[in-house]
Amino acid sequence: PFNAPGLTHLSLSVDDLDGTVARIATAGGTVARHLPGAAVVHDPDGQAIELLPMSYHHRVTATGPVAVI
């Protein structure tokens, strides 16, 4: 789960969320969830990767990161 202690996943912002998700299988990965505005995929080794739209990056950059404890 994403809220477990330690490194659970990587999170990346991408320019084209839907286009990136569409290319996951051709890169050897799998799509676990694809929701409006976010996706969770796994690379060929099973590492979870959260994909977010670049608008999320711009919002965090403007307001500063939020730590969840």
What tens digit of pLDDT does each residue of 31-62 get? 999 999 999 999 999 999 999 998 776 677 77
pLDDT band at 69 (very low <50, low <70, confident <90, very high): very low
How much is the pTM?
0.76
pLDDT band at 68 (very low <50, low <70, confident <90, very high): low
Question: Pairing mode, if any, of strands 48-53 and 38-42?
Answer: antiparallel
- Return the sign of the alpha-carbon dihedral for residues 55, 33, 23, 9: positive
